[in-house]
Structure 1
Amino acid sequence: MKSHFEFSNLLGTVYSKGNVIFTPDGQSLISPVGNRVSIFDLVNNKSRTLNFQNRKNIYRIALDPRGTVLISIDEDGRALLVNLKRSIVLHHFNFKQRVQDVKFSPDGRYLLVTHGHHAQIWLNPSATIKSFTPFHLHRTYTGHFNDIISLSWSPCSKFFLTASQDMTVRMYTVNPVEGYRPRNFTGHKDAVLGAWLTGNLTDPNDEPRVITVSKDGACFVWRNKDMVGQDDDDSNDDEQDQSSTNSVTSKKQCSTLDQVRWGISSKHYFNVAGTYVTTCTFDRSTNILVVGFANGVFGLYEIAKEVGSFSNIHSLSISQEKITSLAIDPTGQWLAFGASKLGQLLVWEWQSESYILKQQGHYFDMNTLAFSTDGQTIVTGGDDGKVKVWNSTSGFCYVTFAEHQSSVSVVEFAKQGTVIFSASLDGTIRAFDLIRYRNFKTFTSPNPVQFNALAVDPSAEVVVGGGVGDGFEIYVWSVQTGKIVDILTGHEGPISSLAFSPLGDKLASVSWDKTVRIWEMYGRKNGVEPLQLASDGLAVAFRPDGAEVAVSTLDGQIAFFDVAEGKQKSLIEGRKDISGGRKFDDRITAANSASGKSFNSLCYTADGLQILAGGNSKYVCIYDCQDGVLLKRFEISENLSLDGTEEFLDSRKLLESGIPVNEINETAELSDLDERLEANKVLPGSKGGDMSRRKYKPEIRTKSVRFSPTGRCWGAASTDGLLLYSLDDTIHFDPFELTLEITPASITQTVEKSEYLKALVMAFRLNEKYMIKVVYQAIPFKEIKIIAAQLPTVYVPKLLEFISKSAIDGSSNHLQFDLTWINFLLTSHGRYLKNHSNQVGPIMRSVQKALLDSHSSVSKLANSNTYMLRYLIDQNNLHSRSATSQLDSPPPSLLTQRLDGDGDVDMS
Structure 2
Amino acid sequence: MKTDFQFSNLLGTVYSRGNLLFTPDGTCLLSPVGNRVSIFDLVNSKSYTLPFAHRRNIARLALNPRGNLLLSVDEDGHAILTNVPRRIALYHFSFQGEVTALAFAPSGRHFAVGIGRRIEIWHTPSTPDVAEGGDLEFAPFVRHRTLTSHFDNVQSIEWSRDSRFFLSASKDLTARIWSVDPEEGFVPTTLGGHRQAVMGAWFSKDQEIIYTVSKDGALFEWKYVLRPDAPEDLEGDGDEYMQWRIAERHFFLQDNAHVTCAGFHAESNLLVTGFSNGIFTIHELPEFSQIQNLNISQNDIDYVAINKTGEWLAFGASKLGQLLVWEWQSESYILKQQGHFDTMNTIAYSPEGQRIITAADDGKIKVWDVNTGFCIVTFTEHTSGVTACEFAKRGNVLFTASLDGSIRAWDLIRYRNFRTFTAPSRLSFSSLAVDPSGEVVCAGSIDSFDIHIWSVQTGQMLDRLSGHEGPVSSLAFAPDGSTLVSGSWDHTVRLWNIFARTQTSEPLQLMADVLRVAFRPDSKQVAVTTLDGQLTFWSVSDASQEGGVDARRDVSGGRKLSDRRTAANVTGTKSFTTVKYSADGSCVLAGGNSKYMCLYDVQSGVLMKKFAVSVNLSLDGTQEFLNSKLLTEAGPRGLIDDQGEASDREDRRDNTLPGAQRGEGARRTRPQIRVPDVAFSPTGRAFCAASTEGLLIYSLDAVFQFDPFDLDITVTPATTLSTLAQKDYLTALVMAFRLNERNLVRRVYEATPVSDIPLVVKAMPAVYLGRLLRFVAIQADESPHLEFNLMWIEALLSKHGRWMKDNKGGLEAELRSVEKAVRRIQAELARLADENIYRIEYLLAQPVEKREKTLQLDFGVKEIENGVDEEMVDGEDNGDGDGEWMGFD
Structure 1 stretch 519-528 or stretch 760-769: which is displaced more? 760-769
Taking the TM superposition and a 5 Å limit, the aligned residue runs for 1:312-391 are: 312-391=290-369
Cα shift readout 1:107-165 (whole Å, capped 9, x = no counterpart): 11112100111100111124667655311111001111111110001111111100001
Letter aligned with residue 409 of structure 1: T
- The whole-number CA distance in structure 1 between the counterparts of 2:799 and 2:111 is 47
Residue 481 of structure 1 is matched in structure 2 by: 458
- The whole-number CA distance in structure 2 between the counterparts of 1:30 and 1:776 is 42
Which of 635, 638, 646 matches 1:662? 638
Cα shift readout 1:760-817 (whole Å, capped 9, x = no counterpart): 899987789998654455855232264873547996577447863485xxxx8x9856
2:181 corresponds to 1:182? no
Taking the TM superposition and a 5 Å limit, the aligned residue runs for 1:308-707 are: 309-469=287-447, 471-523=448-500, 525=502, 527-656=504-633, 659-677=635-653, 680-682=654-656, 688=662, 697-707=670-680
Indicate how the Cα distance of structure 1 residues 214 and 443 shifts in structure 2: closer, same or farther if over 3 A, else same.
Answer: same
Indicate how the Cα distance of structure 1 residues 526 and 377 shifts in structure 2: closer, same or farther if over 3 A, else same.
Answer: closer
Indicate how the Cα distance of structure 1 residues 58 and 763 shifts in structure 2: closer, same or farther if over 3 A, else same.
Answer: closer
Which of 685, 703, 719 matches 1:730? 703
Indicate how the Cα distance of structure 1 residues 417 and 369 shifts in structure 2: closer, same or farther if over 3 A, else same.
Answer: farther
Indicate how the Cα distance of structure 1 residues 85 and 744 shifts in structure 2: closer, same or farther if over 3 A, else same.
Answer: closer
- The whole-number CA distance in structure 2 between the counterparts of 1:791 and 1:829 is 10
SS of corresponding position for 2:760: helix
- The whole-number CA distance in structure 2 between the counterparts of 1:263 and 1:215 is 20
Residue 694 of structure 2 is matched in structure 1 by: 721
Indicate how the Cα distance of structure 1 residues 800 and 753 shifts in structure 2: closer, same or farther if over 3 A, else same.
Answer: closer
1:756–1:775 Cα contact (<8 Å) kept:
no
Q: What are structure 2's unaligned runs of at least 5 residues? A: 129-134, 805-809, 845-889
SS of corresponding position for 1:17: coil
Residue 45 of structure 2 is matched in structure 1 by: 45
2:257 corresponds to 1:283? no
2:344–2:358 Cα contact (<8 Å) kept:
yes
- The whole-number CA distance in structure 2 between the counterparts of 1:555 and 1:277 is 52
Taking the TM superposition and a 5 Å limit, the aligned residue runs for 1:231-250 are: none
SS of corresponding position for 1:804: coil
Letter aligned with residue 646 of structure 2: L
Indicate how the Cα distance of structure 1 residues 534 and 188 shifts in structure 2: closer, same or farther if over 3 A, else same.
Answer: same
Q: How many Å apart are 1:447 and its aligned residue? A: 2.3
Residue 170 of structure 1 is matched in structure 2 by: 176
2:343–2:662 Cα contact (<8 Å) kept:
no
Which of 258, 263, 269 matches 2:245? 263
- The whole-number CA distance in structure 1 between the counterparts of 2:826 and 2:23 is 32
Indicate how the Cα distance of structure 1 residues 162 and 789 shifts in structure 2: closer, same or farther if over 3 A, else same.
Answer: same
Q: How many Å apart are 1:261 and its aligned residue? A: 2.8
| Paired residues, number | 817
1:764–1:795 Cα contact (<8 Å) kept:
no
- The whole-number CA distance in structure 1 between the counterparts of 2:154 and 2:496 is 66
Indicate how the Cα distance of structure 1 residues 63 and 590 shifts in structure 2: closer, same or farther if over 3 A, else same.
Answer: same
Q: How many Å apart are 1:755 and its aligned residue? A: 2.9
Q: What are structure 1's unaligned runs of at least 5 residues? A: 201-206, 235-255, 865-908
Cα shift readout 1:156-196 (whole Å, capped 9, x = no counterpart): 11111000011111111101113421011111111111011
Indicate how the Cα distance of structure 1 residues 272 and 189 shifts in structure 2: closer, same or farther if over 3 A, else same.
Answer: same
Q: How many Å apart are 1:820 and its aligned residue? A: 3.5
Two-structure CA RMSD over aligned residues (Å): 3.8
1:612–1:705 Cα contact (<8 Å) kept:
yes
Letter aligned with residue 442 of structure 1: T
Taking the TM superposition and a 5 Å limit, the aligned residue runs for 1:803-818 are: 804-805=784-785, 816=791
1:393–1:836 Cα contact (<8 Å) kept:
no
SS of corresponding position for 2:125: coil
1:644–1:700 Cα contact (<8 Å) kept:
yes
1:760–1:772 Cα contact (<8 Å) kept:
no
Residue 293 of structure 1 is matched in structure 2 by: 275
Structure showing greater Rg: 1
2:80 corresponds to 1:70? no
SS of corresponding position for 1:342: coil
Q: How many Å apart are 1:90 and its aligned residue? A: 1.5
Residue 145 of structure 1 is matched in structure 2 by: 151
2:361–2:662 Cα contact (<8 Å) kept:
no
1:734–1:794 Cα contact (<8 Å) kept:
no
2:66 corresponds to 1:79? no
Cα shift readout 1:399-421 (whole Å, capped 9, x = no counterpart): 11111111000000111241100
1:662–1:695 Cα contact (<8 Å) kept:
no
Indicate how the Cα distance of structure 1 residues 746 and 293 shifts in structure 2: closer, same or farther if over 3 A, else same.
Answer: farther
- The whole-number CA distance in structure 2 between the counterparts of 1:30 and 1:211 is 26
Cα shift readout 1:366-425 (whole Å, capped 9, x = no counterpart): 000001111101111000001111111111111111111110000001112411000011
Letter aligned with residue 638 of structure 2: N
Structure 1 stretch 818-827 or stretch 218-227: which is displaced more? 818-827
Indicate how the Cα distance of structure 1 residues 84 and 824 shifts in structure 2: closer, same or farther if over 3 A, else same.
Answer: farther
2:732–2:748 Cα contact (<8 Å) kept:
no
- The whole-number CA distance in structure 1 between the counterparts of 2:782 and 2:142 is 48
Taking the TM superposition and a 5 Å limit, the aligned residue runs for 1:889-908 are: none
Indicate how the Cα distance of structure 1 residues 806 and 713 shifts in structure 2: closer, same or farther if over 3 A, else same.
Answer: closer
1:35–1:639 Cα contact (<8 Å) kept:
yes
2:235 corresponds to 1:208? no
Indicate how the Cα distance of structure 1 residues 823 and 102 shifts in structure 2: closer, same or farther if over 3 A, else same.
Answer: farther
- The whole-number CA distance in structure 2 between the counterparts of 1:825 and 1:45 is 37
TM-score by length of 2: 0.85
SS of corresponding position for 1:100: strand
Indicate how the Cα distance of structure 1 residues 197 and 746 shifts in structure 2: closer, same or farther if over 3 A, else same.
Answer: farther
Letter aligned with residue 133 of structure 1: A
- The whole-number CA distance in structure 1 between the counterparts of 2:774 and 2:248 is 53
Q: How many Å apart are 1:324 and its aligned residue? A: 0.2
Q: How many Å apart are 1:277 and its aligned residue? A: 0.4
Which of 245, 251, 274 matches 2:256? 274
SS of corresponding position for 1:172: strand
2:20–2:29 Cα contact (<8 Å) kept:
yes
2:496–2:506 Cα contact (<8 Å) kept:
no
Q: How many Å apart are 1:696 and its aligned residue? A: 5.9
Indicate how the Cα distance of structure 1 residues 296 and 435 shifts in structure 2: closer, same or farther if over 3 A, else same.
Answer: same
SS of corresponding position for 1:503: coil
Indicate how the Cα distance of structure 1 residues 85 and 836 shifts in structure 2: closer, same or farther if over 3 A, else same.
Answer: farther
Residue 157 of structure 1 is matched in structure 2 by: 163
Q: How many Å apart are 1:665 and its aligned residue? A: 1.7
SS of corresponding position for 2:703: coil
Indicate how the Cα distance of structure 1 residues 462 and 396 shifts in structure 2: closer, same or farther if over 3 A, else same.
Answer: same
Residue 59 of structure 2 is matched in structure 1 by: 59
1:508–1:516 Cα contact (<8 Å) kept:
yes
2:577–2:676 Cα contact (<8 Å) kept:
yes
Indicate how the Cα distance of structure 1 residues 232 and 45 shifts in structure 2: closer, same or farther if over 3 A, else same.
Answer: farther
- The whole-number CA distance in structure 2 between the counterparts of 1:768 and 1:547 is 48
2:487–2:494 Cα contact (<8 Å) kept:
yes
Letter aligned with residue 548 of structure 2: L
Structure 1 stretch 80-89 or stretch 136-145: which is displaced more? 80-89
1:414–1:420 Cα contact (<8 Å) kept:
yes
- The whole-number CA distance in structure 2 between the counterparts of 1:436 and 1:695 is 36
SS of corresponding position for 1:529: strand
2:1 corresponds to 1:28? no
1:618–1:645 Cα contact (<8 Å) kept:
yes
Indicate how the Cα distance of structure 1 residues 523 and 689 shifts in structure 2: closer, same or farther if over 3 A, else same.
Answer: closer
